[in-house]
Amino acid sequence: MAKKKAAKKPTGKNRRRQKDVSTIAAVRDCKALDMHLEGYTTRQIAERLDMNDRTVYKAIDRGREAWKMERVELHQDLVETVLMTQRRILSLAFQAYADSKSPDNLPGDPRFLALAEKANTSIGNIVAAHRDDGGKVDPLARSGLIEVIVHTRGEVDALQQMNYKELEQIAVQPVTLEAGS
Q: Using DSSP, state whether 76 is helix, strand or coil.
A: helix
pLDDT in tens, 157-170: 777 777 767 766 76
pLDDT in tens, 115-145: 888 888 888 888 877 766 544 444 444 444 5
Beta-carbon neighbour count of residue 46 at 10 Å? 20
Confidence (pTM): 0.46
Q: Is the dihedral of CA 109, 94, 153, 177 positive or negative?
A: positive
Lowest mean pLDDT among 26-30, 111-115, 143-147: 143-147
Check whether 5 has a pLDDT greater than 70.
no
The mean predicted confidence, pLDDT, of the chain is 76
**Could you tell me the residue ranges of all domains in the chain?**
15-131+138-145, 146-181
Say how far apart CA 31 and CA 51 lie, in whole Å.
11
Specify the amino acid at residue 99.
D
Beta-carbon neighbour count of residue 53 at 10 Å? 13
The candidate with the shortest Cα–Cα distance to 32, out of 43, 21, 19, is 43
